[in-house]
Amino acid sequence: MSGKNLERADLLQIYHFMRLTRAMEDRTRTLFLQGKVVGGVYTAQGHEATTVGAAMTLGNGDFIVPQHRDLGMHMVRGTSPRAVMCQWLARGNAPTLGRDGQIHIGDMHHGIVPMISLLGESLPVACGVALTMKMRKRPTVVLASCGDGATNTGPFHEAVNFASVQKLPLVFIIENNGYAYSTPTYKQFAVQNLSERAKAYDIPGETVDGNDVLAVVEAVGKAVERARGGNGPSIVECKTFRVRGHSEADKADYVPKELRDEWLAKDPIKRFEAYLKNEQVLTDATKAEIEAKVKAIVDDAVRFAENSPAPDATTVADYVFAPDGPIAIVGEPGADNSRYINALDRRINQPFSTISKAEEAVGR
């Protein structure tokens, strides 16, 4: 999908997911204030155009490797709102079975690789997924995201370098919201645009307005087509703004009021809504219908999570320790298992449908 060939249904679907993402996070903050959320809450108000727009460019067989502000990507790729709310409330039927109260979730059946808390560390994993797909000769694209701060870590540069050398079908999305926690970008790096770092690895880099969802769809769409065509990775930097603090415990007093007001005036949802009305795509009746649908989805997700069981204490050690007995990556009966690399090669070439029940339970 690119920004130039979007039909009315596509535009309304994008609007729906942007509204759903914000509504989910608004309700999560309310649950947090009510003391119902286990752990901290990290939201992405202001990022909706970037996260939804980027994910909308992918096909059914593609993968995302998201970060903690990518709820929009999860929604587009098919993560259930019920699962998200169960995760926040740490219920026994949550994707991590109540073992984690954050958005550190994935679903390999929907092409969502679980994130790693140390931002930037997920990018080498994305390289591994992309390399696997290339070795299997599948026309699959992997989209991996990180924040501006993560681009100053070693794993970011190692991943981009490896992806470039191997010509992996990978698109790196940098969500530059101006702050790495409380550190502004001008104290992090000297370059004007982080996409300029692509030059060091001889790959394309582009910077776009991350609050303009159609600009994001267009830029990421081109990068996805390039990757799918076997032409290697790209970097797309989306300049946006994190309206709230790093977490709900952070008042973000370090952000100048003038800067916050400037970005609030460029709210991605209001901006896209104005565009849709101007293009006569969104009527008052259609807007009301979408609002009602979004509210019903969120209400249902919260109700389902609140009525879901707490984790079973007797399962506390499940998925923490390896099972008893020898551990090995085993190939077919009678295969040569003399070298680890041989077993690993067979494992890489197995279809995803052969993942173990434990892997499926943790990654569902």
- The CA dihedral of 323, 327, 328, 331, to the nearest 10 degrees, is -40
Phi, psi of 92 (to 5 degrees): -65, -20
- Alpha-carbon gap, residue 193 to 142, rounded angstroms: 23
- Residues 211-239, mean pLDDT to the nearest whole number: 98
- Res 103: pLDDT: 85
> Who wins on pLDDT, 274 or 355?
274
Residue environment code for 294-312, b if the CB has 16+ CB neighbours within 10 A, otherwise e = beebbeebbebbeebeebe
Domain regions of the chain by residue span: 8-317, 322-364
pLDDT at 205 over 60: yes
d(CA 177, CA 252): 13
Q: Which two tokens stand for residue 69?
A: 């502000």
Residue 86 above 50 pLDDT? yes
Cα→Cα distances 338→139, 309, 324, 333, 348, Å: 32, 46, 22, 13, 17
The helix or strand, by DSSP H or E, that contains position 304, with its residue range, turns out to be helix 284-306
Closest CA to 232 of 192, 266, 265, 204: 204
How far apart (Å, rounded) are the C-alpha atoms in residues 185 and 242?
13
* CA pair distance 16, 167, nearest whole angstrom: 35
Q: Report pLDDT for 158.
A: 98
Rounded to an integer, the average pLDDT of 9-38 is 96
SS3 for 173?
strand
Distances (CA, A) of 207 to 141, 214, 270: 20, 14, 22
Superfamily of domain 8-317: Thiamin diphosphate (ThDP)-binding fold, Pyr/PP domains (3.40.50.970)
pLDDT, tens digit, for every residue of 245-267? 999 989 999 999 999 999 999 99
DSSP of 307-347, one letter per residue? TSPPP-GGGTTTTTSPPSS------STT---SSHHHHHHHH
**pLDDT average, residue stretch 110-132:** 93
The pLDDT confidence band at residue 119, using thresholds 50, 70 and 90, is confident
* Non-local CB neighbours of 155 within 8 Å, separated by 6+ positions: 120, 121, 123, 124
Segment 275-305, tens digit of pLDDT: 999 999 999 999 999 999 999 999 999 999 9
Mean pLDDT throughout 322-330?
Answer: 57
Summarize pLDDT for 148-204 with one digit per residue, the tens: 999 999 999 999 999 999 999 999 999 999 999 999 999 999 999 999 999 999 999
Return the residue matching tokens 């979730």: 105
249 versus 55: the higher-pLDDT residue is 55
The two tokens of residue 222 are: 């081109």
**What does the pLDDT read at residue 361?**
39
